[in-house]
């Protein structure tokens, strides 16, 4: 199985929560290539705690919770895309970006450029709340323009069947399922909520994307 990229329509849409559920469900390894912001729990720490699965070390750990290019500049670091090659692991690998597809890694490159280099399936996480159709469509357009294989959209939040269906149909993208909002996030509650996401559907979508 090719490594899977989890990106999102925005920051804070639930990429890490979804990635943790997916990592656990696929018995995968998780990798966050660039972490910006070290004061709160990092995404790697969150995924390790929620999935109980192996987590690879980040290639760049940047102090400031900001766009990676700014967080890097502040530390006198320049992010080198050549250092962000996909690692080889046994079994599936789930890779999380930061923010959305147009977030800069350097003054010249955005996450989309990295995903396009990798040529590996991308899952777009989208909230179900108002505004999501626009953000999802724009992200899909950017991913497709860059030639990234899009596996599908996974929703996070309360059910919005008309919105979810509109996105899947109008923009011809597989609907990979929806995660309910959880009152308490633990490995057990996440695993139960993730039952609503059919990993068979995801595997089929991945094959369809390649």
Ligand X SMILES: Nc1ncnc2c1ncn2[C@@H]1O[C@H](COP(=O)(O)OP(=O)(O)OP(=O)(O)O)[C@@H](O)[C@H]1O
Cβ proximity to ligand X: between 109 and 204 the closer is 109
Residue 200 contact among ligand X, Mg ion, none, beta carbon within 5 to 8 Å by kind: none
- Collapse the DSSP code of 44 into the 3-class scheme (helix H, G, I; strand E, B; otherwise coil) and give the result: helix
Smallest gap, in angstroms, from Cβ of residue 22 to Mg ion? 13
Binding-residue total with Mg ion (CB under 5 A): 3
Between the alpha carbon of residue 22 and those of residues 30, 79, 100, the distances in Å are 9, 27, 19
Q: Is 32 marked active-site?
A: yes
Candidates 9-17, 74-82, 151-159, 202-210: pick the segment binding Mg ion (CB under 5 A).
9-17
User: Among 26, 179, 202, 205, which residue sits at the site for ligand X (rule: CB under 6 A)?
Assistant: 179
Helices 15-25, 43-51: axis angle to 10 degrees equals 40
- Between the two ends of the chain, the Cα-to-Cα distance in Å is 11
Cβ proximity to ligand X: between 13 and 114 the closer is 13
Four-CA torsion 115, 116, 122, 128, nearest 10 degrees: 80
**Judging by DSSP bridges, how do beta strands 175-179 and 60-62 pair with one another?**
unpaired
Residues of this chain that bind ligand X (CB under 6 A):
8, 11-17, 43, 98-99, 156, 179, 181-182, 185
Catalytic residues: 32
């Amino acid at each position: 199985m090719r490594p899977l990229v989890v990106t999102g329509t925005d920051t804070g849409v639930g990429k890490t929560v979804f990635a943790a559920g997916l990592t656990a469900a696929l018995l995968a390894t998780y990798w966050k290539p660039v972490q910006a912001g070290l004061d709160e729990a990092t995404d790697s720490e969150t995924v390790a705690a929620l999935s109980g699965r192996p987590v690879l070390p980040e290639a760049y750990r940047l102090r400031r919770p900001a766009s990676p290019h700014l967080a890097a500049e502040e530390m006198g670091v320049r992010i080198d895309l050549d250092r962000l090659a996909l690692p080889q692991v046994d079994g599936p690998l789930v890779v999380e970006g930061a923010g959305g597809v147009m977030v800069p890694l350097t003054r010249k490159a955005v996450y989309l450029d990295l995903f396009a280099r990798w040529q590996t399936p991308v899952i777009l996480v989208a909230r179900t709340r108002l505004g999501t159709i626009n953000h999802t469509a724009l992200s899909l357009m950017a991913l497709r323009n860059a030639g990234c294989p899009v596996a599908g959209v996974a929703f996070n939040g309360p059910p919005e069947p008309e919105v979810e269906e509109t996105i899947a149909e109008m923009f011809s993208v597989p609907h990979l399922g929806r995660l309910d909002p959880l009152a308490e996030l633990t490995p057990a509650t996440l695993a139960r909520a993730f039952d609503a996401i059919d990993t068979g559907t995801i595997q089929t979508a991945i094959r369809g994307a390649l």
